Chain A
Amino acid sequence: MSRDHILHKVRTALGRSAGQAPAPAPEVRLRLPEMDLEARLRSFSAALEALGGTFRRAASQEDARAQVAALLDGRSAVASNSPYLAGCGITALGGVRSGFTEEPGLRSLCATADVGITSADFGLADTGSLVLLSSRNEARMISLLPPVHVAVLAKELILTGLDELFTTRALPGEASSSMVLITGPSRTADIEQILIRGVHGPGEIHVIVV
């Protein structure tokens, strides 16, 4: 009832009738800059570090595993089901739990783990953002609940920025019910505009690009 009421008011205000086709929309504006991989990585690294995150390069998947092990330094961690992490051997590291397919178990672990380890679908060079689409391989809470987030991804996944992301994924909702862009550690400036990291989400974010 409210539906018809509101739509009727909208149409009356606009002078449109039900089912009337919309006027042509302004053309989509997406600009793809030319940027080679090296430049993308430099930009990503600079942007992320400016936000208080850290950026590491790994020479190989084994190297990535070693770097994650060093980062963990014995702390407990929960890793996503991403085949990329398993391929790096990260899920096999001591203290790392992985392989959860049900929410309750994952939730209680994420609520207590020191570190959450994920891969990422993309990185965005200009803003230092990670893009994660929720799936059976990537649960949302691993990058959210633990105080430290470590992400490991292949270098080719670093796109130039939002424009390239939305060119590659014109309809992000088709693949997943959730796409999240993570740009640096959780932060607030709500008390006297003083910047504080790690409010609700992770206060630390480490990105390792293989």
Chain B
Amino acid sequence: MMTAPEKQFQETLANAGLQSAVYSATGRLMDKRRATVCAEALPDYQELRQQANAIKKHTLENLDHYLEQFEAGVAARGGKVVWCKDGAEAAGFLTRLAREKDARLLAKVKSMTTEEFGLNELLEQQGLEPVESDLGEFIVQLARSRPYHIVAPALNLTRHDVAGLFTRTLGVEHETVPENQTKIARRVLREKFLAADMGISGANFLVADSGAVVLVTNEGNGRMCTTLPKVHVAIAGIEKLIPRAQDLAVFLKLLGRSATGQPLTVYTSFLAGPRRPGEIDGPQEFYVLLLDNGRTRLLVDREKRQSLYCIRCGACLNHCPVYRKIGGHNYPWVYSGPIGKVISPQFRGIGQDPWLPFASSLCGACAEVCPVKIELPGLLLELRSEIVRSKRLEGKSRLERLGFRAWSWLMRHPRLYELAGMMGSLVAAGDGEAWLKKLSFVPNIGPLKAWTSERDIPPLPPRSFRQLWRTRRAGSAAPPAPDRERERADNAPEPGD
């Protein structure tokens, strides 16, 4: 979409139930995070962030080395690395593997990476049955929707939505108590786990020195999918690497806290290859699909490379006042919130949805909480500049460009700038918005209209600061006596006047 879906935004904003659900859920996650990273709870939090940032930076700068080291490590333990340029290659490999193993039922651990290319749909088209096993993701799959949030996929749905959905899709009694709903999901999914032919997961980290995949889940579905089926396939973006197992001491402390305010997520699995001789259970085959899917494009630029540091904790979504207003589904791609605004245009090209990086007040709340210190506002600024340079913005933007050019010129000519200001206040003299009507002949009134759609325009002062300053200086060297404008200051803005 070339322009922002303003209508959709308005619909979301007008949905009071959804607004309060999103605002309170993200608010709770914010509180929980704060309680676990505050100085009393984690004195070295800032040092850990710095270290995490340094490790990610280093890993990406030497990525080819770590990819090869990882591959060798997996192979040494009897697993196999499969390189995939894109989602189609990954889905193709899985389909062939499933055929070869005579597998049909695939138990799946929540993975944002596989959402990038709609893996489930691709597998279904091949007659396979992928089943999402994270409760939230299970709900999203039943609703045939997409995740609303990186870590809380069904954040937008209420227990009543879930009740209706379960009745419709699972044929169970109408059940509105979340605890009982969870039991239903447990029962349905337990059968799937026990019957599954293959387990498919993403990866939170790939550990180069160990050839290991690290997975964290709270529910235990990650362990189920990687313990019970004969085959485990992990699909991971190439940016997920970290050099050493010991680096996990840094990342695990940050991930759970940033995501859900847990010092550690309930289950952290460190998986190094298939089951070994003597081990009683675990998969007999172990594959890691290393996926590019656009990531190498993000590696090129030194600054923008940091977009790949992301460990998908979702903290930037929870703290983003824009996400908290428009929720996850108004973002054009699977990644929402600040990180979505930064990586979507880079993965998909800035020509697609060029409005996206502009949908931010640049408040910086995201960067403040990012556990790997991605400079999100800086990246948004960089992308904005690229989009403007590429002239991808249509129609209205030509006017905007002219506008900024004229503005830039005016700002370098103080006398004309002053004159323009005087004309403005002359037109605007007196009452609030009446002057707007007088101005309605101005072609680029769009911004004014947009402003007044939500807010009033304050009455413009009859004289600018510089004019008042001249008067003040001419009057005397002593501090000035109150004049009309100072009255205005002291009695200040009475709204509605």
Contact = CB atoms under 8 A, between A and B. Distances in A.
Q: State yes or no: do A and B touch (Cβ within 8 Å).
A: yes
Contacts of B275: 134, 177-178
Contacts of B58: 22-23, 25-26
Interface residues of B, number: 101
Interface in A11-55: 11, 13-14, 16, 18, 20-23, 25-26, 28-31, 47
Contact of A172 (B226, B228, B265, B272): B272
Contacts of A26: 51, 54-55, 58
A73 interface: no
B192 to A, nearest CB: 10
Given A186-B266, A191-B162, A200-B221, A101 B280 contact: yes
Interface in B54-84: 54-55, 58, 60-68, 73, 77, 83-84
Interface of A is mostly: loop
Contacts of A111: 194
Contacts of B223: 140, 144, 180, 200-201
Interface of B: 21, 24-25, 28, 44, 47-48, 51, 54-55, 58, 60-68, 73, 77, 83-85, 89, 133-136, 139, 152-155, 157-159, 162, 178-179, 181-182, 185-186, 189-190, 193-194, 207, 209-212, 218-221, 223-224, 226-228, 238, 243-250, 252-253, 260, 262-276, 278-282, 286, 290, 292, 296, 299-300
Contact of A7 (B68, B159, B267): B68
A185 B182 CA distance: 14
A90 interface: no
A26 to B, nearest CB: 4
Contacts, number: 266
B178 A196 contact: yes
Interface in A157-208: 162-163, 165-167, 169-173, 176-194, 196, 198-202
B213 to A, nearest CB: 10
Question: Which 10 A-B pairs have CB atoms at the shortest separation, nearest pair first?
Answer: A201-B220, A173-B272, A190-B136, A22-B62, A13-B299, A199-B219, A9-B296, A173-B210, A200-B220, A139-B280
Contacts of A162: 248-249, 252-253, 264
A191 B238 contact: no
B40 to A, nearest CB: 13
B219 A25 contact: no
Given A173-B273, A190-B134, A191-B182, A6 B85 contact: yes
A180 B267 contact: yes
A193 B24 CA distance: 9
Interface of A: 2-3, 5-7, 9-11, 13-14, 16, 18, 20-23, 25-26, 28-31, 47, 81, 100-103, 106-107, 111, 124, 126-127, 129, 134-136, 139-141, 144, 162-163, 165-167, 169-173, 176-194, 196, 198-202
B62 A171 contact: no
Given A10-B299, A173-B77, A187 B252 contact: no
